[in-house]
Amino acid sequence: MHLLAFDTSTEWCSAALWMDGRVIDAAVHAGQAHSRLLLPMVSSLLAEAGLTLGELDGIAFGRGPGSFTGVRIACGVAQGLALGASLPLLGVSTLEAMAEEADAEQVVTCLDARMNEIYAAVWRRDPSGWQAETEAMVCPPAVAPLPTASGYVGCGGAFAAYPEILARRYADLLTDIRPGLIPHARSIARLAAPRFRAGMAVPPEAAEPVYVRDKVALTIRERTMGTRPGGNTHGTGMSA
């Protein structure tokens, strides 16, 4: 099975090719240049592997949560490539991809959602794969979801954005903190491969991003009153 995977949900742009278990990948700190960098990165990986888009079995993408613009870019590019090559698609949670990237059995994933909030979830790996102990949510870092025991690894940019708040929140619960870890495309590819084999992929037109937050920005009144827009639903996410 040959799969293409990519993610643009953070300030990093990454892409990977899964070829029957062998993975080649690339990543670059893109800032806000994901739309300019992603397709050349994909073309370079295909050329390195000696493959064409039509020889792939499917495309996986980081479906969110994350940067609103970045998540939308990933889904849109995946749909465009898949429609042109008649390929199925599969979206993978960026928070689950971070858990996979952590190379641990118990992980707390936290991405910076801006506006003094984070995207977060708690994960535990069992023989069948990653199990979400909490749903992906958007919340202030001071009320980030907690694991039920200690021994977890914390990862993601929110640990760099809110180090003191999250250190207090997860005191004695984490064995390690890895703020530089991202939802890398190579982990998306590893998670996607068995799901493609299980028939979980969808037609391009059925693929959807997951934003979690249902508002892009706070109104002036919300900022003044300190009101947080609710959000465990699909809708608009943060700006890039």
- pTM for the model stands at 0.88
Give the architecture-level CATH label for domain 95-178: 2-Layer Sandwich (3.30)
28-40: average pLDDT? 96
Strand-strand pairing, 58-64 and 2-7? parallel
Residues 66, 153, 239, CA angle at the centre, nearest 5°?
A: 10
Smallest CA-to-CA distance from 40 within 51, 26, 24 is with: 26
Cα distances from 96 to residues 51, 106, 122, 147, 214, in angstroms, run 28, 11, 9, 15, 20
Q: pLDDT per residue over 3-17, tens digit each?
A: 999 999 999 999 999
Phi, psi angles (nearest 5°) of residue 58: 170, 175
Q: pLDDT per residue over 131-146, tens digit each?
A: 999 999 999 999 999 9
pLDDT of res. 213 = 81
pLDDT of res. 240 = 36
Give, for 49, the enclosing helix (H) or strand (E): helix 34-49
pLDDT of res. 146 = 98
Do 2-94+183-225 and 95-178 have matching folds? yes
Tokens read off for 150: 């200690």
Q: pLDDT per residue over 44-100, tens digit each?
A: 999 999 999 999 999 999 999 999 999 999 999 999 999 999 999 999 999 999 999
End-to-end CA distance of the chain: 33
218-222: average pLDDT? 40
**Percent composition of the chain: helix, strand, coil (DSSP 3-state, to 5):** 35, 30, 35
**Looking at domain 2-94+183-225, what is its CATH homologous superfamily?**
ATPase, nucleotide binding domain (3.30.420.40)
What is the Rg, in whole angstroms, of the alpha carbon atoms belonging to the chain?
A: 17
Q: pLDDT per residue over 170-206, tens digit each?
A: 999 999 999 999 999 999 999 999 999 999 999 999 9
Q: Is 35 in contact with 19 (CB distance < 8 Å)?
A: no
pLDDT of res. 187 = 98
Domain borders along the chain are: 2-94+183-225, 95-178
pLDDT of res. 135 = 94
